[in-house]
Amino acid sequence: MAEKSYRDAIREAMIEEMDRDPNVLIMGEDIGVYEGTFRITAGMLKKYGSKRVIDTPIAEAGMAGTAVGMAMLGLRPIVEMMTMNFAIVAADQILNHAAKVRYFSGGQVDVPMVIRGPQGAGVQLSAQHSQTFEAFYGHFPGLAVVAPATPADAKGMLKTAVRGKDPVIFLESAALYGMKGEVPEDPDFTVPFGESRVAREGSDVTIVSYGRMLQLSLVAAEKLSKEEGIEAEVIDLRSIRPLDLVPTYASVARTHRAVVVQEQWKPFGAAAEIAASITEEMFDELDAPVARVTGEDVPMPYARNLELLATPHEPQIIGAVRRVMYRE
């Protein structure tokens, strides 16, 4: 194990997979000469050359469509979106082509490609650069959608994505790039999709989250323990599609209360699907309605004070826990 940042864990995963398999390549805007907006591809153009580290025009639909064709012919492209907000331009290629080729071909054609990049709030990136997309992509069969919350999971899940046979939407929280954590150095270390984990054990309430909100949930859980004697169990979903709620159900069977935390807007979000699933499966175990903690239902403001008000933080999670425990 070695301590690495979330950013370096992603970079290391790509380098290890490019060393392992000559069919792996990466393409995107400013990833070569400029070495990436977030410096994730630093040094990779010099190491692998312009045929495997491809600087593209500002043409997200072209990037995604080219990657679909490459993947169908046996290559393993990684498409870096400067921000996942820009991938909206490529929605037709991603949703109508990448996600459906296996179905259209009767299972005869693989599409081993990864579309990765940052999402969510940064600092004053405003409304067109601060959105989250797990519910958007998670709605469509044919895609895997993952949102790692730790450097170890970022590395292990990206390696799983690159080695797979189907298109993967790999959602990186922009605000986590600098976060550090222990990461296995084994080049064969992978983390499977569709296996959530218990990130913190507890007996009083279950908090379910993923991505950056998982880290906020852990901080909130520690504050609840120290200040109020409430022990929250925190579940890290890790992937949205496939979605593993078995550990969540087992936790709710013990705690009888649940809070689901997401960064995106409340209407039609991932938390709605998760909360509905908990209610459907565990209704007789619940002692309170499942609570949701979400961002405010507004475009992201530019002003920092308003941006902070529009995004979830630990106090909102703590408040939701108090409500399901009937303490406020």
* Residue 125 exposure: Cα atoms within 13 Å on the Cβ side: 18
Length of the chain: 328
Residue 276's CB is within 10 A of a number of other CB atoms, namely 12
Distance of CA 258 to CAs 73, 125, 324, Å? 45, 32, 7
Q: Which residues of 286-303 are buried (b: 16+ CB within 10 A; e: fewer)?
A: beeebbbbbbeeeebbee
Respond yes or no: is residue 172 known to be catalytic.
Answer: no
Q: Which of 16, 60, 172, 273 is catalytic?
A: 60
Respond yes or no: is residue 129 known to be catalytic.
Answer: yes
Q: Which residues of 21-35 are buried (b: 16+ CB within 10 A; e: fewer)?
A: eebbbbbbbebbeeb
Rg over alpha carbons for the chain, rounded to the nearest Å, is 20
Tell me if 236 sits within 8 A of 211, measured CB to CB: no
φ, ψ of residue 38 in degrees (nearest 5): -105, 10
Q: Which of 129, 134, 233, 263 is catalytic?
A: 129
Catalytic positions, written as ranges: 60, 129
